[in-house]
Amino acid sequence: MLGRTLQRQLSRHSLIIADLPEWDITDAGGFSRKLAEAAPDAVIHCAAMTAVDKCETEQDLAYRLNAVGSQNVAMACHRLGIRLIAISTDYVFDGTLDRPYHEFDTAGGAATVYGASKFAGEEAIRTHCPDHVICRISWLYGPGGPSFVHAMMKLADGTRPVLKVVDDQRGNPTSTLAVARHLELLLEHRELAGTFHLTCEGEASWAEFAREIFRLGGKEQAIVPCTTAEFPRPAPRPLNSRLEKRMLRLCGLPPMPHWQEALAEFMAQEPF
């Protein structure tokens, strides 16, 4: 989903679209050879196993993709002198803090295999490729989906008088359009390195997010707020996914848009 948006946003750049089966980040030698042949100025590393519940049952695959795969990408980039921009997640935190997490908060206490494997990937990138930017995102939606926005619009088809939506998890609903624009900024600022949070400003619960989706989508859909405990999942969901964009501020970069503004832009463009 983010990759599709990046293809559109970065259209003025010369892009090499790297995907399976030709490009396999779990094949260290093969990936390095392909990268040497392509010789790009930068790599945007979006490849990951993001099926959070599946990561719990297929732990080796999660670590092979998210940790070892990221290590392979990082080592190849460093060896070839290529700048690396990698995508990570709020799940690297345990979600228990009573305020938004900023980039200098200690990560690594993830409560899920997904979060732990993504943090292992972050650490591999920091170790093996100094010329890197790690961008953490969360609650993502974008053109084509799949996403919470697409799921809610599909469920609000008039056949369900009431929808139960979790109301005790809070985060920053974030558009791939907003992320892609800031990734382009980071591409152009080659002097920058380190970890950046790229979620939209403002916060909401899933229920509040759903209400705004229905309002913008013109849907008359009733919602009943519920708790996380009412929807048990194999991988526990963090109650706090909020991310503060401290590094954008410190580096003098423009702020991310407010989540309601970004959602309105997206809803006006997406055919549901």
pLDDT tens, position by position, 110-137: 999 999 999 999 999 999 999 999 999 9
pLDDT at 14: 96
Residue of 28, 108, 101 lying closest to 68 (CA atoms): 28
The pair of structure tokens assigned to 105 is: 């908060």
Q: What is the mean pLDDT of residues 48-62?
A: 97
pLDDT at 222: 97
Give 76's strand partners.
none
Instruction: Give residue for tokens 């599946």.
Output: 54
Percentage, residues of the chain above pLDDT 70: 100
Q: pLDDT (tens digit, 9 = 90+) per residue, 138-176?
A: 999 999 999 999 999 999 999 999 999 999 999 999 999
Measured CA to CA in angstroms, residue 148 lies from 35, 142, 144, 151, 236 at distances of 34, 10, 12, 5, 17
Which phi and psi angles does 50 have, rounded to 5°? Answer: -110, 0
The pair of structure tokens assigned to 95 is: 């979600």
Q: What is the mean pLDDT of residues 176-195?
A: 97
pTM of the model: 0.96
pLDDT at 236: 94
Does 141 participate in catalysis according to the annotation?
Answer: no
Report the alpha-carbon distance of residue 36 to residue 51 in Å, rounded: 30
pLDDT at 143: 97
Q: pLDDT (tens digit, 9 = 90+) per residue, 4-47?
A: 999 999 999 999 999 999 999 999 999 999 999 999 999 999 99
Candidate list 63, 91, 101, 114, residue with the active-site label: 114
Q: What is the mean pLDDT of residues 264-271?
A: 96
pLDDT at 209: 98
The pair of structure tokens assigned to 149 is: 């926005």
Report the alpha-carbon distance of residue 270 to residue 265 in Å, rounded: 9
Per the prediction, the chain carries an average pLDDT of: 97
pLDDT at 170: 98
Q: What is the mean pLDDT of residues 252-272?
A: 97
pLDDT at 101: 98
